[in-house]
Structure 1
Amino acid sequence: MLVHELFAQARAERPHHPAVIDGEGRLTYAELGRLVDRSVGWLRGQGVTAGQRVVYGGDADHRFLAFLYATLRLGAIFVPAHPELTGAQLGYLAGNCAATVVLHGAGPLAQAWQEVRETPPDPYVADTAPDDVALLIYTSGSTGDPKGVVCPHRPMVAAVGAVNARLGYRADDVVLCRLPLSFDYGLYQALLCATVGATLVLTARNRDAALLRLIEQHGITVVPLVPSLAQMLTVLQRRRKVPTRIRLFTNTGARLGRDTVAELLDCFPGAAYASMYGMTECKRISILDPAEYADHPDSVGPAIPGDVIRIVDADKRAVPPGTVGEIVVRGATVMAGYWQIPMDQQQRYLRGPDGALELHTGDQGYLDQQGRLYFVGRDDDMIKRRGVRMSLTEVENAAERVAGIVAAVALRPAADDAPLVLAVLSELTEPELRDLLAEHLDRARMPDRITHLDEVPLTPNGKPDRKAVERLLRPESSPQKWQTHEPVAV
């Protein structure tokens, strides 16, 4: 099975069922399929052939999906880019992958789409193999220039199947996606919907005021979350108390605090919550069964079907259950490394003892006796303070368990002996916060200074942006530098 065949199958089996709903209306699988056919013809007219790269930086709407499936039908490689990238950032991506076509910006996108709609449908489907590359998804570049994760069809389709085996998306589901489709958590919502023939509802941040109305109007049943969206839905629902059909919330990336989940489930009775862990380099690694959340609220679950998790120490040796170390994963969903970086120079992708490719996540965690994973923190979150190795994430998670703290961001100390600063969104005073935090944090993890934020800056994917908070509180901090290249135009 190939990625675009997931959509082709739904198109054949459920032609009249709604495939996508966005700000411009509703399209059935048959209607979206005809736009895919026209997009195939347009891309062929631009000279796109198998193996070439197509960079797409448009909004999360039906055009994105049409160009995605059309690119894959040609055997070409789709490169999703966030629509808010600057010219320098987009130029870096386009230059790094040597793109044949780059679609970005309101004017060029509108012109291209008008031409697509005037292009005759083209039934062409390239002869593509499962190990051919389908996508390049560029990482955020927190430790340097962004790297393109090479995503072949085989592990992508395996990831869709494994995730759905745990989450159980259904043909009658209506999935709300407020996430950018350039973010793999958002993109895979489209693939999960296609694999079962469900309906995908796409919305953007500028429509947040109408979010509950959207949920009610379309009968939303599944909502993928980031913390900011969970908090927003809770606030909106407490005000309006709208009856909904939501049966499942999911979360990955920045984890939700226990209090946030409790409030969310209280506001949306009948809904369940699935905590997940993953990264672009492997898509999804573990998923906690919603039925186990009450007993294991800090776990992100066992490995998904087809994958194996192990924990290793600094010397890459396996450690026993309960011992914190680096999370390593192998199996069907591990992607094929980074674009144009020789395998022997890749720090994340390494050959295991038996020669199989493994992903060394750089994240810290541990397994319990039943194989459930507990995420402790990102490698760049780890600090040593007062002789104790700890994670900034565990400080944040503990703070967010305190009633009255809406969100918390712990900043990496500028030096080993520098103060640990915790920035919070809260109406409590610093002395009140310190007394409450003392119930959750030991002396080593207690922040030296607590400062208040008016709002928590977010990344384009909706996660708390620690670097942006650092720039607010430490003006001398410099932002991420990107190498610059001239953007490529259509």
Structure 2
Amino acid sequence: MQIEDIIAAPFIPLSVILRDHAERRGPAIAIADETARISWADLDTMLDRVAAALQREGVAANEPVAIAASNAVNTALAFLGALRAGAVAAPLTSTAAPATVLAMLADSGSRVLFLDSAMAAGLEGLPFPAQVQRIALDDSDVGVPFSKWIAPEGAKPEERLPRPEDPFNIIYSSGTTGTPKGIVQSHQMRHEYVRRGLGSGFDDDSATICSTPLYSNTTLVSFLPTLTAAGKVVLMKKFDARSFLELSERERVTHAMLVPVQYRRIMEHPDFDSFDLTSYRLKTCTSAPFPAWLKADVLKRWPGGLVEGYGLTEGGATTNLVAHKHPDKLHTVGQPSPGHVIKIIDEDGNELPPGATGEIVGRSPIMMNGYHGQPAKSREMEWFDADGNRYLRHGDVGRFDEDGFLILMDRAKDMIISGGFNIYPTDLESELTRQSAVREAAVVGIPSDQWGETPLAVVVLADPAADPEAIRTEANRALGKTQRIARIEVVDELPRSPIGKVLKRELRDHFGGNPIAQTPVLSSDSKETNDA
């Protein structure tokens, strides 16, 4: 099966594609981690054995199968084997608090949980549901050892080919805005993701590093296209900049999907320029704001193209910034993908004209079925245009420039309303990080007796001797009167989700307990300067 055939087809089940590749690619490596490798032929055999074992356990078509484990070959086998069984892969956020993992498990309705000893250690002492069977992917004693559980060699599952609308996986939201929700993505939605990704230079010789967890959509949008193209996936259990560079050189990596904090750590590594990265064809980025200066550094020093993608795990619409073709647009997230429509609406749900700033809504062939078991939450995500077309709310504020490139202002929930003025934290963060003494910055709104809310900056210093008050003063000189920062707090590092999103809710909870009652005065017109 050729890539062109997959791109042209309205729908082909993933298991059919993988079996076809196995017949053609045989001994070539399909998936590797830092200690194990599996060929295409063995991958196909193992997926049959996992699928047959799941069916033996009574797992029905479209029944969720939970997975909570670190990146490894066996973790990938559990994910792909569940699909071959006709079930739904439900990878849980294994780095979440143990009680949250159990809540996800309960929400999914899974009767089978693949896990490893690290995950089991976190769950120890908690009330684990008796009806859920535990299978230890690392062959430890935290469940039935995987090597003993799988069906015997030569076993074949009953073929259960999915319909396009059937659920492919349940991805749990990161929980940065509260309790994680199960996002149900269909086989058709995944096929559309893959068709889009295959145009990025994937083929038999491609090799992709996956350095974020398999429970993340960020990972799956590179993991699945690589396998669909019959390439090789290299899984990292835990990201480390030097290990990433060593793997890239050793495995002759062609593709990588990274989040911005990973790019920063890689580019800051003192030995970066000593590694041979000439095998790279394309690097992609998503999940969090990607500073323009960092994009420029990647373009200058790292071979291969660079594309930033913007969108939601839930779907809606996506944009792509092909940075190596548009170096003058690094402050944007690019243009809508073909067949994707983005509109900007106001607080009352009215569509706004081109160039206006407002909430982003989008529609495309990539749209979730809904949140698992939460129809009311699903409806909250929807917006319908005058013709009745369904869009998903992105939860972000933005605008289009004169060339049709989308500029993100901020998350709607992170926007600060101070004295009646809208303040976008990204504007303040950009001003702070212009200063060489500031390595990273996050701005949140905290209570103010005078203005309702006021900006607080939390920074990581590049120069430990720098004066935070001097940094604040310098930033406020460049900011508008209504934008000025009331206070700066210094931390060793910003709290982040496992895929690199800054957890601003944690910053607000930690630093915003007591309202600022008195305004620090920086100028004679301070009454107009929004707590500055």
TM over 0.5: yes
Q: Distance in 2 between the 1:345 and 1:228 partners?
A: 30
Residue of structure 2 aligned with 1:23, choices 19, 34, 40:
34
Letter in 2 for 1:15: G
Letter in 2 for 1:219: R
Q: Pick closer, same or farther for the CA change 1:118–1:347 going to 2, 3 Å.
A: closer
Query: Larger deviation: 290-299 or 54-63?
Result: 290-299
After superposition, give the CA deviation of every residue in 1:178-223 in whole Å (9 maximum; x if it has no partner): 1011010012221110122221111133654422221211112222
Q: CA RMSD in A?
A: 2.5
Residue of structure 2 aligned with 1:449, choices 487, 491, 506:
487
- Does the 8 Å CA contact 2:382/2:390 hold for their aligned counterparts? yes
Q: Distance in 1 between the 2:354 and 2:388 partners?
A: 24
Q: Pick closer, same or farther for the CA change 1:125–1:405 going to 2, 3 Å.
A: farther
The CA deviation at 1:411 is: 2.1
Consecutive unaligned residues of structure 2, counting only runs of 5 or more, are: 1-11, 121-134, 516-532
Q: Pick closer, same or farther for the CA change 1:418–1:389 going to 2, 3 Å.
A: closer
Aligned to 1:75: 86
Q: Distance in 1 between the 2:201 and 2:250 partners?
A: 23
2:265 matches 1:265: no
Aligned to 1:50: 61
The CA deviation at 1:373 is: 1.6
* Aligned ranges 1:244-259 → 2 under 5 Å: 244-245=277-278, 246-259=280-293
- Does the 8 Å CA contact 1:248/1:273 hold for their aligned counterparts? yes
Q: Pick closer, same or farther for the CA change 1:127–1:231 going to 2, 3 Å.
A: closer
Query: Larger deviation: 126-135 or 360-369?
Result: 360-369
Aligned to 1:480: none
Aligned to 2:456: 421
The CA deviation at 1:286 is: 1.0
Q: Distance in 1 between the 2:317 and 2:194 partners?
A: 9
SS in 2 for 1:205: coil
* Aligned ranges 1:226-245 → 2 under 5 Å: 226-238=259-271, 241-245=274-278
Q: Distance in 1 between the 2:422 and 2:457 partners?
A: 17
Q: Distance in 2 between the 1:282 and 1:6 partners?
A: 23
Aligned to 1:385: 418
The structure with higher relative contact order (CA 8 Å, sep 6+) is 1
Letter in 2 for 1:67: A
After superposition, give the CA deviation of every residue in 1:4-34 in whole Å (9 maximum; x if it has no partner): 3343343334333321110222222222222
Query: Larger deviation: 337-346 or 143-152?
Result: 337-346
2:97 matches 1:64: no
SS in 2 for 1:103: strand
- Does the 8 Å CA contact 1:41/1:119 hold for their aligned counterparts? no
After superposition, give the CA deviation of every residue in 1:55-114 in whole Å (9 maximum; x if it has no partner): 111111222221222211222111111222344212211222221212234264223422
Aligned to 2:195: 161
Q: Distance in 1 between the 2:513 and 2:57 partners?
A: 46
- Count of matched residue positions in the alignment of Structure 1 and Structure 2: 475
Aligned to 2:323: 290
Letter in 1 for 2:196: A
Letter in 2 for 1:423: V
Q: Distance in 2 between the 1:65 and 1:355 partners?
A: 40
Query: Larger deviation: 465-474 or 92-101?
Result: 465-474
Q: Pick closer, same or farther for the CA change 1:123–1:208 going to 2, 3 Å.
A: same
Q: Distance in 2 between the 1:171 and 1:402 partners?
A: 45
* Aligned ranges 1:132-143 → 2 under 5 Å: 132-143=166-177
Letter in 2 for 1:458: R
Letter in 2 for 1:328: V
SS in 2 for 1:263: helix
* Aligned ranges 1:8-407 → 2 under 5 Å: 8-106=19-117, 108-109=135-136, 110=139, 111-116=144-149, 119-120=152-153, 121-165=155-199, 167-205=200-238, 207-238=240-271, 241-245=274-278, 246-268=280-302, 270-282=303-315, 285-342=318-375, 346-407=379-440
> Rg bigger for which structure?
2
The CA deviation at 1:372 is: 2.1
Q: Distance in 1 between the 2:16 and 2:401 partners?
A: 38
Q: Distance in 2 between the 1:82 and 1:176 partners?
A: 20
TM-score by length of 1: 0.89
- Does the 8 Å CA contact 1:399/1:440 hold for their aligned counterparts? no
- Does the 8 Å CA contact 1:382/1:391 hold for their aligned counterparts? yes
The CA deviation at 1:435 is: 5.0
TM-score by length of 2: 0.83
